[in-house]
């Protein structure tokens, strides 16, 4: 997991302002829609296996169209004018499949239910996401847990994760990029664990 770095204090007022503006109902600035970006995987594993990625399950407050901001230790708001361009669970699943495919180039990485080729060992990946939001102190928070199952449904490995990524600059685009980076870190850890499960 990424080590916690003390965020810039100047980010706090702007993030709070962005969250409150997005929830106020005013559409003066228009609506912006965001897709999670992908970057190149830095490490590759040469294991041969089939990886089936189950649909991502999420906390109910993350299932809306708006990007979620945590305003203090207990209050969250969903932005009205800063939205996910596609449903977040589908974006996260696709990004995970692409990242695992890049870090495991000899593996077949597919959505659960799709046909797979060959007789290579198979693993199922299940993820529960509890936090995927900006935070009042200038951090993007990604938190949840994952499970690795054998082809027969036997639990092979499981782990909770929490990735806190300080924003490089103020604003929703920087938040979306930081959230994507945290998700990719989760995917990279999963790739290593998949290899270790063989």
Per-residue pLDDT reduced to its tens digit, 127-161: 999 999 999 999 999 999 999 999 899 999 999 99
Indicate the pTM of the whole model.
Answer: 0.84
Sequence spans of domains, the chain: 17-23+32-37+49-196
Q: Between 3.10.310.10, 3.40.50.10610, 1.10.3720.10, 3.40.50.300, what CATH number should domain 17-23+32-37+49-196 receive?
A: 3.40.50.10610
pLDDT tens per residue across span 107-119:
999 999 898 887 8
The 10 Å CB-count burial string (b at 16+, else e) for 19-39 is bebbbeeeeeeeeeebebeee
At residue 170, what are phi and psi to the nearest 5 degrees? -80, 155
At residue 75, what are phi and psi to the nearest 5 degrees? -105, 130
Q: Determine the pLDDT at residue 5.
A: 39
Q: Taken in order 111, 63, 179, 38, is the CA torsion positive or negative?
A: positive
């Amino acid at each position: 997991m990424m080590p916690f770095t003390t965020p810039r204090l100047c980010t706090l007022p702007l993030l709070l302002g962005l969250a409150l503006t997005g929830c106020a109902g005013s559409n003066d600035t228009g609506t912006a829609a965001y897709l999670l970006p992908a970057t190149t995987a830095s490490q590759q594993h040469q294991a041969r296996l089939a990886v089936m990625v189950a649909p991502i399950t999420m906390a109910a407050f993350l299932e809306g169209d708006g990007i979620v901001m945590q305003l203090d230790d207990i209050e969250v708001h969903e932005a009205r004018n800063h939205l996910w361009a596609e449903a977040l669970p589908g974006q996260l699943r696709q990004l995970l499949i692409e990242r695992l495919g890049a870090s495991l180039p000899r593996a077949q990485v597919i959505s659960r239910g799709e046909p797979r080729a060959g007789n290579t060992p198979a693993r199922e990946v299940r993820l529960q996401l509890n936090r995927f939001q900006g935070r009042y102190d200038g951090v993007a928070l990604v938190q949840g847990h994952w499970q690795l199952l054998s082809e027969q449904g036997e639990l092979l490995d499981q782990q909770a994760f929490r990735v806190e990524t300080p924003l490089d600059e103020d604003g929703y685009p920087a938040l979306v990029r930081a959230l994507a980076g945290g998700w990719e870190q989760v995917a990279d850890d999963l790739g290593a664990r998949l290899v270790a499960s063989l």
